Amino acid sequence: MTYQSFREYVLGAFKIGIGLGVVSILARWVTGNTIFGSPEALVKYGIFGGIGFAMMGAFALIAFGWLGRKVRSDFSGGMTIGDYMQNKLHPFGYWLMIAILLMTSIEGMFVQGMAGGVLLNILFGLPIPLGLLCFFVFCVLFAGIGGIRSIHRFANVQIIITFATAILIPVYFFVGKGVEHVFNGLRLYHPYLLVLNNHEGLLFIVTGVLIGFGQVFVDQATWQRLYMMEDKKVVSTFVLSGLIFATIPLAFSSLIFIVLFSGGFHDIFSLLFELVRKIDTPFLLVLFVLCSFGAITSAFGAGLHSMISLMVNNVYQLFRPHASERQKIRLGYTLAIAIGAVSFCLTMYFTPTLLDLLFFFGIIYASLFLPVIVIVLTKGKASNFIIISVIAGLASGYVSRAFVDNMKAIWIASSSTALVLLVYLCIASVRKHYMRTKTRT
């Protein structure tokens, strides 16, 4: 697939409208974490687990639409979040932000890689190393080499399959088994899932929304899609994407009821294995397999493509300002292979659960979203203290993990960032008022 310029490799050759914009955003956010993480949250926090996953994505996407309109009016000619931050931050703050963004990119791809390896193992019995290798090679070819055109073609098919799966499989089982039969089975074997005064579950919803804001507001692929859209359609595209997204985690959480209502289980992976075993219709089984692989591949591909765009456009180009378009595209291909290899090694070495990863990196996301909002709302260059508040949040969050649970650590990180930001804004406001008074006198 030949591109004439690196900008075309990153954004495509034309601005996208609401339809393709919604498809592209959903393809980015319906991920392995949505399919496997929401059932895990359901098992741990009851019905509030699935609701929390739905709300964290929906609210964050809708809010980002309003913030995105301000971003586009301030700096409309960018391609990546790095372009905007370069325009708004001083060099120290800019490079600190780039380092944090690269870290969150690796986390996003790591999660998808884990989900891909596990899925291949459950469905086909492939050894996890072999399954991971196949997955990463395919993603590098499809997104890293194929670029944005390949990603958008794949997104259309993936979203159709995802909605077909989310509608047809629950309907097939709940009609076949009877909703009342399923409900009685849940009350008998897993009554804790239906408890409504589950305070930990309610805290998960609020914490999930906090993490979701951070994930969406600093996600490089989402910023790229923001710059692909027509100016007047930014808000409506993100609002529609958020509303549609909310239905997906709920649908996949409900799939787990099909397994749970008939007895106990060992762990989340045994639940997925049982779910696959219970889908006794070849058509629905193929649909589920295609949906799962489509979501994971699409999310990993978007993360890989956006990371390449950031590294070439916002790191390499600053050191090689006279690099030709052909050199930048060639470097993008090389980075795709290198990032795929690093992701493979990381996924082989570390084996946390998806929920553990969500909480661990949730500290970064919870510390980031307020500073990003302040940067966007600041007129002119933003102070380095805004980025330093992120470091304060990260330090307090990760240190506090030794003394409190994961959700409390996320709130400590977010509160620390907010406190530092508040102090900075108060001092800046007083100083500005003093300077004005001095000028008048």
Distances in Å between the alpha carbon of 407 and those of 12, 107, 389, 393? 40, 18, 20, 14
What does the alpha-carbon distance between residue 153 and residue 10 come to, in Å, rounded to a whole number?
15
3-class secondary-structure state, position 47:
helix
User: What are 21's two structure tokens?
Assistant: 């914009």
Exposure letters 200-215 (e unless 16+ CB within 10 A, then b): ebebbbebbbbbbbbb
Q: Which stretch of DSSP H or E encloses residue 211?
A: helix 199-217
Using alpha carbons, select from 20, 18, 36, 24 the residue that is nearest to residue 291: 36
Residue with the larger pLDDT of the pair 272 and 407: 407
What does the alpha-carbon distance between residue 313 and residue 232 come to, in Å, rounded to a whole number?
26
What does the alpha-carbon distance between residue 164 and residue 291 come to, in Å, rounded to a whole number?
9
User: What are 55's two structure tokens?
Assistant: 């709300």
User: What are 172's two structure tokens?
Assistant: 């097939």
What does the alpha-carbon distance between residue 416 and residue 409 come to, in Å, rounded to a whole number?
11
What does the alpha-carbon distance between residue 94 and residue 86 come to, in Å, rounded to a whole number?
6
Beta bridge partners of 1: none
Give residue for tokens 């490079």. Answer: 95
Q: Is the pLDDT of residue 381 over 80?
A: yes
Q: How many helices (H) and strands (E) does the chain have?
A: 21, 0
Q: What is the pLDDT of residues 334-347, one digit of tens each?
A: 998 888 888 878 77
**C-beta of residue 52 within 8 angstroms of C-beta of residue 205:** yes
Q: What is the pLDDT of residues 356-368, one digit of tens each?
A: 767 777 888 888 8
User: What are 265's two structure tokens?
Assistant: 């289980």
Beta strands in 116-244 (DSSP E): none
**C-beta of residue 140 within 8 angstroms of C-beta of residue 336:** yes
Angle, helix 128-139 to helix 91-124, in steps of 10 degrees: 130
Q: Is the pLDDT of residue 245 over 90?
A: no
Exposure letters 100-115 (e unless 16+ CB within 10 A, then b): bbeebbbbbbbbbbbb
What does the alpha-carbon distance between residue 204 and residue 43 come to, in Å, rounded to a whole number?
13
What does the alpha-carbon distance between residue 45 and residue 192 come to, in Å, rounded to a whole number?
9
| pLDDT range class, residue 101, cuts 50, 70, 90 | confident
Q: Is the pLDDT of residue 312 over 90?
A: yes
Which value, to the nearest 10 degrees, does the dihedral of the CA atoms of residues 422, 423, 429, 431 take? -170
Q: Is the pLDDT of residue 155 over 90?
A: no
Question: Mean pLDDT highest for which of 178-182, 258-262, 318-322, 328-332?
Answer: 328-332
What does the alpha-carbon distance between residue 300 and residue 346 come to, in Å, rounded to a whole number?
14
Give residue for tokens 């050199």. Answer: 327
pLDDT of residue 52: 80
Q: Is the pLDDT of residue 277 over 80?
A: no
User: What are 33's two structure tokens?
Assistant: 């974490």
Instruction: Classify 62 in phi/psi space as left (phi over 0), alpha (psi -120 to 50) or beta.
Output: alpha
**Residues across the chain:** 441
What does the alpha-carbon distance between residue 306 and residue 332 come to, in Å, rounded to a whole number?
10
Q: What percent of the chain is helix, strand and coil (3-state, nearest 5)?
A: 85, 0, 15
Give residue for tokens 């359609």. Answer: 233
**C-beta of residue 333 within 8 angstroms of C-beta of residue 251:** no
| pLDDT range class, residue 241, cuts 50, 70, 90 | very high
| pLDDT range class, residue 351, cuts 50, 70, 90 | low
pLDDT of residue 269: 64
| Contact partners, residue 298, CB within 8 Å, separation at least 6 | 27, 28, 30, 31, 151, 154, 155, 158
pLDDT of residue 223: 92
User: What are 434's two structure tokens?
Assistant: 């003093």
Q: What is the pLDDT of residues 10-56, one digit of tens each?
A: 888 778 888 888 988 988 888 777 777 777 777 778 778 778 878 88
Give residue for tokens 């690269």. Answer: 102
